[in-house]
């Protein structure tokens, strides 16, 4: 058995996405890497799991200290299959991304990238999700390299608190313009959705979702502010959704 840490890499943009190819190249020197990622884009799937059809794995690559698989399921499916079937044990670390587009603020709720990270945290694996604030297919992931490596080095060396994972968002600017890494809280915001109604050739209506992000809070200690001011934002996230601040109030009612 290799003494190197065993690292799982996944994403939600698909195994061929430029973001995950960049992340793989950054992380391979840190240990034995296994990639299990969706065979197609799975953005917006959040923490969905597949129960209506069979899951399949395709073995793509097998090299020294490196294996790669694609899966026809969601990011959460990929993590579950990696733990139980591919690795047959929990890895030492899990890294997800690099996502095309921000997962700051409310976007984390819909994110398949961060669902994979939360799945890792649920299993007790120190896990980090990386996202670049660009939706372009020609996005430049190069400026993210030194910051991804810095965070990965820190997490491998120091670990993370039990039940806590990290949501990292990187501004889409040149490396010279990035102001550094800052610890943040999640900004308040929401999506205001609408639907574009259309009609197919058979006269049946169908709909395309569209929407705009509305920021409702942008204090200096939030991830959205950090991105807008060219900082790499790091938000500690937990899977315990208990609203502890409301417990005392509601205890008087129930």
Condensed to tens digits (0 to 9), the pLDDT of residues 225-246 reads 999 999 999 999 999 999 999 9
Q: 46: left (phi > 0), else alpha (psi -120 to 50), else beta?
A: left
Predicted local distance difference test score (pLDDT) of residue 45 = 87
Predicted local distance difference test score (pLDDT) of residue 136 = 85
Question: What are 133-167's pLDDT values in tens digits?
Answer: 998 878 999 999 999 999 999 999 999 999 999 99
CATH 3.40.1210.10 fits 6-187+219-251, yes or no: yes
Residue 1 predicted with pLDDT over 60: no
Beta-strand pair 57-63/66-71: antiparallel
HSE-up of residue 77 (Cα within 13 Å, Cβ side): 23
Question: What are 123-137's pLDDT values in tens digits?
Answer: 999 999 999 999 887
Question: What are 41-93's pLDDT values in tens digits?
Answer: 998 889 999 999 999 999 999 999 999 999 999 999 999 999 999 998 999 99
Mean pLDDT computed over 184-189? 90
Average pLDDT over the chain reads 93
Comparing CA positions, the residue from 167, 30, 147, 47 lying closest to residue 97 is 167
**DSSP for 111-144, written as a single string:** -HHHHHHHHHHHTT--EEEEEES---TT---GGG
Mean pLDDT computed over 97-114? 94
Mean pLDDT computed over 208-217? 77
């Amino acid at each position: 058995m290799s003494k190197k840490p065993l690292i799982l890499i996944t994403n939600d943009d698909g195994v061929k996405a430029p973001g995950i190819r960049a992340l793989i190249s950054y992380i391979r020197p840190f240990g034995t890497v296994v990639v299990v990622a969706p065979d197609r884009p799975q953005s917006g799937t959040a923490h969905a799991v597949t129960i209506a059809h069979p899951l399949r794995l395709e073995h793509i690559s097998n090299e020294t200290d490196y294996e790669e698989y694609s899966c026809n399921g969601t990011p959460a499916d990929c993590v579950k299959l990696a733990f139980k079937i591919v690795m047959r044990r929990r890895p030492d670390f899990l890294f997800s991304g690099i996502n095309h587009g921000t997962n700051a603020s409310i976007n984390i709720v819909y994110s398949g990238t961060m669902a994979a990270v939360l799945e890792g945290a649920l299993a007790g694996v120190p896990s980090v999700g990386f996202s670049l604030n660009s939706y372009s297919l020609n996005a430049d992931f190069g400026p993210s390299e030194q910051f991804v490596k810095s965070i990965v080095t820190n997490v491998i060396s120091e670990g993370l608190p039990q039940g806590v994972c990290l949501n990292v968002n990187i501004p889409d600017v040149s490396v010279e313009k990035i102001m550094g890494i800052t610890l943040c809280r999640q900004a308040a915001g929401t999506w205001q959705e609408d639907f574009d109604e259309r009609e197919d050739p058979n006269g049946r209506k169908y709909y395309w979702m569209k929407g705009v992000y509305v920021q409702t809070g942008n204090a200096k200690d939030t991830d959205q502010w950090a991105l807008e001011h060219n900082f790499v934002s790091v938000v500690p996230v937990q899977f315990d959704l208990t609203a502890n601040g409301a417990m005392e109030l509601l205890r008087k009612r129930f």
